[in-house]
Amino acid sequence: MPELHSPSPSNPPATRLPQPSNPPTTRLPWPSLLALSTAGFVTIMTEALPAGVLPAMSADLGVSQSGAGQSVTLYAAGSIAAAIPLTAVTAGWPRKRLLLLSVGGFAAANAVTAVSTNYPLTMAARFAAGLVAGLLWALLAGYARSIVAPEQRGRAMAVAMGGSTVALSVGVPAGTLVAALVGWRTTFGLMSAVAVALAVWMLVALPAVPGRPGHARTPVRQVLRTPGVAAVLTVTVAFVLAHNLLYTYVAALLAPLGLGGRTDTVLLVLGLSSLVSILGTGALIDRHLRTLTIAACALLSAAALSVAAALLTGTSWPVYGSAAVWGLAFGGAATLLQTAVADAAGPAGDIAQSLLVTCWNLGIAGAALAGGLLLDHGGPSTLPWSALALLATALTVTVAAHRHGFPRPTGRPTGHPRSPVPHSR
């Protein structure tokens, strides 16, 4: 069980994490975890699919491609706006019911996007999808951890978070291809149908997990003061900013190297490497979370440095190796950071996850803005050096947070208590 802190005026007695109606067993509940993973897949597909269909989408809606691109911006804005307040308001709701409502929200938002010919209505549907995404991401990690034994929590989260990596590496390119064959509206309609099928799957496969009673809920301010939480959130912002400075503007980075037409190949290498990273993270996270996080920061730094060197020398061949290293760094990052913040926050894990979701989306939005300014005023070579500065911050904080946040190994798997656990009565 995650570390819980002794009672104090600012840290009242802790309670146990919500438990499922059927106690966890020593075997991973694969149907349940794969259902959660599919929810992550649907979330990322809904978020990223417009990027692959912008020309057709903008033509149908009668707006510019930049106007249609705001469908991604509004989705992120919805996630930022919703993650913390909705998670706090619904803390006492049964987790299964809340998860089903979130998936139903995706079904409705994608259905509206598929049939709408009105630009404001389409944007409203995208914002609504972002709202439920912010809530769903905060739910997934806690749900996965609550339905397995303590020593399996890292592996369970790796499975539950794996769907998002599959969506980025395989799903979005496949969705773009399907959209080219049958139209972007049909593709969004198919995503709505997948969400409906997923809701039925969850209804059957997921055990019931209760919400937290009112007296056990922890205010956001107090969660932020919990040792380790601020460190994990700082690493999250720095790491996601660095990744997205490179990822959002990868085409601009490749163009000076004569690889402008190979962006899809580079991203495929990155995606496949990310899948390898997810598998490795799942196998090692329960005992080596700190080491894996340090390795992720170091590997992404190496990839950024390699890209910077390629831009300086005009040599293109190292880029594919850089993409492979980049994927190894990024594929398991979400699982590592969500596990770290859940361990640090203990029973207030849902609130901590909502803070992490907010920081993650702020990193995405901030990278898009900062990267555009860097590109306009300094050129592509400024992007990897800026990413390196951010990664130095992430690595420094990770190494320094050796007591809380990213603690040194104690010989016990992640998720085991490191001190006696007080219980409220």
Place of tokens 């619904």: 90
pLDDT of residue 411: 56
CB 127 within 8 A of CB 77: yes
- What sign for the dihedral angle of Cα 114, 115, 119, 123? negative
Map residue 136 onto helix, strand or coil.
Answer: helix
* Per-residue pLDDT, 417: 39
Report CA-CA distances (Å) from 252 to 249, 255, 379, 413.
5, 5, 9, 42
Confidence (pLDDT) at 271: 85
Each residue of 385-405: b (16+ CB within 10 Å) or e?
Answer: bbbbebbebbbebbeebeebb
Encoded tokens for 171: 């799903």
Q: Which residue has the tokens 């990868």?
A: 250
176, 180, 185, 189 alpha-carbon torsion, rounded to 10°: -60
Token pair listed for 345: 């926050």
Token look-up 């601009």 returns 252
Q: What is the pLDDT of residues 118-150, one digit of tens each?
A: 999 999 999 999 999 989 988 888 899 899 988
pTM for the full model? 0.79
Q: Where are the alpha helices (DSSP H) in 216-262?
A: 220-225, 229-248, 250-254
Residues of the chain with pLDDT under 50: 1-17, 414-425
Q: How far apart are CA 190 and CA 187, in angstroms?
A: 5
CA–CA separation, 93 and 75 (whole Å): 24
Q: What distance in Å separates the CA atoms of residue 319 and residue 303, rounded to the nearest whole number? A: 9
- N residues, the chain: 425
Predicted pLDDT of residue 37: 95
Q: What distance in Å separates the CA atoms of residue 51 and residue 149, rounded to the nearest whole number?
A: 39
The pLDDT, as a whole number, for residue 420 is 30
Please tell me the distance from the alpha carbon of residue 287 to that of residue 419, in angstroms, as a whole number.
17
- Ramachandran area for residue 370 (φ above 0: left; ψ -120 to 50: alpha; else beta): alpha
Contact residues for 21 (Cβ-Cβ < 8 A; gap 6+): 207, 208, 209
